């Protein structure tokens, strides 16, 4: 009979608490937030600031890869000169980067002096 007593399993021991089993998943989300989401939000803010600060004569690159110089700016549309006397309309959100900030126009200088 003593041999049979050893064969019996001990009573069920309580498993790990639910908090311990959820902890790795929560930790994974926190790491993903700081490695992926925060940097993307920062890039989006920088791009929005760049779009707001566009001005005439800035040289830009569009998301399609076209280089050009801004000739005029409306609310959401830019007129960009991509070659001499070749102008295209580009949605403001499609500007990928500013290659070189433009020099102020002569008309802008005359307005400032007045």
Q: For residue range 52-87, what is the model confidence (pLDDT) as tens digits? A: 999 999 999 999 999 999 999 998 999 999 999 999
Residue 16 pLDDT class (50, 70, 90 cuts): confident
The number of angstroms, rounded, from the C-alpha of 22 to the middle of its chain's C-alpha atoms is 30
pLDDT above 70 covers a percentage of the chain that reads 77
Residue 3 pLDDT class (50, 70, 90 cuts): low
* 76: CB partners within 8 A, 6+ apart: 91, 92, 93
Residue 103 pLDDT class (50, 70, 90 cuts): confident
């Amino acid at each position: 009979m003593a041999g049979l007593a050893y064969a019996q399993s001990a009573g069920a021991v309580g498993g790990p608490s639910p908090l311990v089993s959820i902890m790795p998943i929560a930790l994974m989300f926190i790491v993903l937030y700081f490695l992926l989401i925060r940097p993307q939000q920062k890039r989006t803010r920088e791009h929005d600031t760049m779009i707001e600060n566009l001005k005439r004569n800035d040289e830009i690159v569009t998301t399609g890869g076209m280089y050009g110089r801004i000739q005029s700016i409306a609310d959401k549309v830019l007129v960009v000169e991509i070659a001499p006397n070749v102008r295209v309309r580009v949605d403001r959100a499609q500007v990928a980067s500013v290659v070189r900030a433009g020099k102020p126009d002569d008309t802008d200088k005359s307005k400032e002096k007045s």
